[in-house]
Amino acid sequence: MTLRHMIIFRAVCESDYNSTKAADQLHMTQPAISLAIKELEQYYGVRLFDRIGRRLKITDSGKLFLQYAIHITDLFEDMETGLRDWDSKGILRVGASITIGSQFMPGYVKAYAEICPGIDVRVVVEQSDTLEHKILTNALDFALIEGIPRDPRIIAEAYMQDQLCVLCSADKGWKEGQTISREEFKKQRFLLREKGSGTRDVFDHVTAQAGIHITPAWEAMSTSTLINAAITGLGIAVLPRRMIQPALDSGQIITVNVEGLDFRRSFYIIRHKDKFLMPSAQKFIALCK
């Protein structure tokens, strides 16, 4: 069993379990692909695919082998980049959730450029769940997100505290900083971030823990959209304090507390547990901390 076998197996899986597509991608013949899979199955004494007609269906053993194949081939690619491809060595691939990407990442990158001017920092700003997928597929070196990752293969380290605030129009009749009951809270129309965002994950976790089921009236990726909707009196929103401060300072909105609910959260630096971080990545993480 060789690295070549792993590359072939991974290509078949990533080609929708189509050996012909994998053969085209790898510039091989389809029989050579089938032979490599057969050699793997004979070597380990397990069936990696079930053959149903002309279709392949991955088995549980195959799913386990795929996890190893992804990690090993990614590590090999990292080694090749680090030792041979000197042009690519100066590239740092960083992910950020939408809140962190809009509020903090520009400052991080600017400060990092002053201490590591030769490193090209390439940033991807996406939902937290999308960033987790990119971490698992080695599309990112690490990422900064607002919630705890779900996959046990991802390591998360808290590096900063943040506060979500319940906000509404200043004309609603509530007073700044007052505490409302859970029953009053449940009656409101909710203006929330979209599913998959770190902010929404925190909101859903806190309300679920309290036994509160919420059906949002609005869902949006844009924080400013939700703030404007709240200012207009269309409902209440739960958003990071840093994002709402200008509207709060202008008196357009107020914030309230909810009896027994705590929307504090941490920001996390996440990476794959098997990922080797180059010194350039370690310096960026140290700067964020």
Which tens digit of pLDDT belongs to each residue from 177-203? Answer: 999 999 999 999 999 999 988 889 889
Going by C-alpha positions, the residue among 99, 64, 143 that lies closest to residue 239 is 99
d(CA 184, CA 165): 16
- Where in the chain are all domains bearing CATH 3.40.190.290? 162-264
Strand stretches in the chain, DSSP E: 49-52, 55-58, 91-96, 120-125, 142-145, 154-169, 179-180, 190-193, 218-220, 236-240, 253-258, 264-272
- Residues 6 or more apart whose CB falls under 8 angstroms from that of 173 comprise none
- Where in the chain are all domains bearing CATH 1.10.10.10? 3-83
**Looking at residue 86, what is its pLDDT?**
45
**Looking at residue 218, what is its pLDDT?**
95
Q: What is the pLDDT of residues 40-75, one digit of tens each?
A: 999 999 999 998 877 899 999 999 999 999 988 888
**Looking at residue 81, what is its pLDDT?**
65
**Looking at residue 99, what is its pLDDT?**
84
Q: What is the pLDDT of residues 79-95, one digit of tens each?
A: 776 665 444 458 899 99
Q: 162-264 has which CATH code?
A: 3.40.190.290
- Where in the chain are all domains bearing CATH 3.40.190.10? 91-159+267-288
Q: What is the pLDDT of residues 243-283, one digit of tens each?
A: 899 999 999 999 999 999 999 888 999 999 988 888 889 99
- 3-83 CATH fold: Arc Repressor Mutant, subunit A (1.10.10)
d(CA 175, CA 158): 33
**Looking at residue 88, what is its pLDDT?**
43
- 91-159+267-288 CATH fold: D-Maltodextrin-Binding Protein; domain 2 (3.40.190)
Q: What is the pLDDT of residues 3-30, one digit of tens each?
A: 999 999 999 999 999 989 999 989 999 8
Q: What is the pLDDT of residues 131-143, one digit of tens each?
A: 999 999 889 999 9
**Looking at residue 243, what is its pLDDT?**
87
